[in-house]
């Protein structure tokens, strides 16, 4: 089973925008305050330091997933909106709380 799912419209839209998608974790507060992941930021550029990212080629598109993001069963990336208001969204990322020392 493939862990990533994108439809043809999404793949062609990503290719028009550079062919790269990077998934970053979003911590609204400080990452060090032991709060869990809240959301995922998607960008269209290659990460500066790709040692923290897993690079996955998928049908001519390069996907970089940060090591703090864990896929549940399947990562779904899709495009929504119309015209200049189109944007990417994803689902299938585990939202978890960081472990704290007891």
Q: Is residue 100 part of a domain?
A: no
Number of folded domains that form the chain: 1
Q: Is residue 42 part of a domain?
A: yes
3-state helix, strand, coil in the chain (%, to 5): 20, 40, 40
Tens of pLDDT, residue by residue over 22-74, are 999 887 766 565 566 678 899 999 999 889 999 999 999 999 999 888 888 89
- The burial class, CB within 10 Å (0-12 / 13-18 / 19+), for 8 is exposed
Q: Is residue 102 part of a domain?
A: no
d(CA 72, CA 85): 28
- The structure tokens listed for 37 are 């992941």
pLDDT band at 95 (very low <50, low <70, confident <90, very high): confident
Q: Of 93, 97, 99, whose CA–CA distance to 41 is shortest? A: 93
CATH number at residue 13: 2.60.300.12
Please list the residues that pair with 43 across neighbouring strands. Answer: 22
Domain ranges, residue 29: 4-93
């Amino acid at each position: 089973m493939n862990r990533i799912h994108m439809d043809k419209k999404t793949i062609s839209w990503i290719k028009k925008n550079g062919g790269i998608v990077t998934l970053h974790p979003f911590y609204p507060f400080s990452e060090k305050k032991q709060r869990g992941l809240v959301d995922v930021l998607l960008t269209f550029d290659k990460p500066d330091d790709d040692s923290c990212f897993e690079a996955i080629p998928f049908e001519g598109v390069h996907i970089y997933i940060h090591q703090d993001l864990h896929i549940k069963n399947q990562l779904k990336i899709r495009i929504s909106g119309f015209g200049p208001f189109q944007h990417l969204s994803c689902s299938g990322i585990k939202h978890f709380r960081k472990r704290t020392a007891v």
